[in-house]
Amino acid sequence: MEKRRLGKSGLEVSALGLGCMGMSFSYGPPKDKQEMISLLRAAFDRGVTFFDTAEVYGPYLNEELLGEALAPVRGQVVIATKFGFQLKPDGSPGWLGLNSRPEHIRQAVEGSLRRLRTDVIDLYYQHRVDPDVPIEEVAGAVKELIQQGKVKHFGLSEAGAQTIRRAHAVQPVAALQSEYSLWWRRPEEEILPLLGELGIGFVPYSPLGKGFLTGAIQQDTQFDKSDFRSTLPRFTPEALKANHALVDLLGQIAQKMKATPAQIALAWLLAQKPWVVPIPGTTKLARLEENLGAIHVELSEEDVRQIGDAAAKVPVLGNRYPEHIEQMTYR
């Protein structure tokens, strides 16, 4: 497995990471724990060293899963987790709002360390920017955790350009995690150039469009009520039908290149910058192996340009999130 460095931070990870949220949260009921432990260890055996979780995934279940699964290889992997939501006192799914007050961050890190069975978090992201807490205070709190040896690197998720710049001035930001794929390309406008300027790595989540770009989702696909895609404007039957043109395009390109649509979508992201590390998620070994095959898909500069240009011509129907969630992004 090829390794990549996240910007100037010195944090080295596998070129593809593994997004672990769906194992416990959001994509239907939590999956069988032992099966997911086996999958996580299979990912490591195949060269994956970068694993992404958050305290809100479950909540808590996903961190506990990673803590158990990765304990035998803890020194050989990079674990990223996130803070920033005010969780419900009874531990039920969902959240009450955002909370990035320094005292809350100090409390959250202790829980994450315990669940992950570790004494240090490799990459600690603010999950969403809290408009009620100056980002300088957030960065300062994480800086203290780094000085105390509880955290190695600071990250942001779905933050806007000015917030990134302000945070980076207090505590260098190792990585930004935001959605980026062939059907959500907003980071290209302002974020990617800024990250290049500041030497910050980029970790695209949902690089396969929450599964849509794999071609496995059809216009008549029914989502379980516990699958959050059932609430997303881009996943209504009307939107799925309209947006399938993008999957068809990927399928045509994939056929020519003797790859799969998912591999083309991931290879295109990998070709953007050497400090881009996508984190596709899956709960199936076959999909994991398919995704990792993207590492071996070689795209020329012309291929990358043509794929991007062709995809840009396909109009995408539907917002990516409901309004109340979209409002939490690019602050």
So which residues are the catalytic ones?
Answer: 57
For residue 41 the two structure tokens come to 């260890």
β 151-157/121-126 pair status: parallel
| Element (DSSP H or E) covering residue 155 | strand 151-157
For residue 146 the two structure tokens come to 């780094």
Report the alpha-carbon distance of residue 226 to residue 231 in Å, rounded. 10
| Element (DSSP H or E) covering residue 106 | helix 102-115
Cα distances (angstroms) measured from residue 200 to each of 48, 136, 203: 21, 17, 10
First to last CA, the chain: 35
In this structure, the number of other CB atoms found within 10 A of the CB of residue 227 comes to: 18
CB-CB contact of 211 with 265 (8 Å)? no
β 78-83/85-87 pair status: unpaired
CB-CB contact of 240 with 221 (8 Å)? yes
What does the CA dihedral 47, 50, 186, 164 come to, rounded to 10 degrees? -150
Q: Which of 76, 176, 60 is nearest to 116 (CA)?
A: 60
Please give the single-letter amino acid code of residue 72. Answer: P
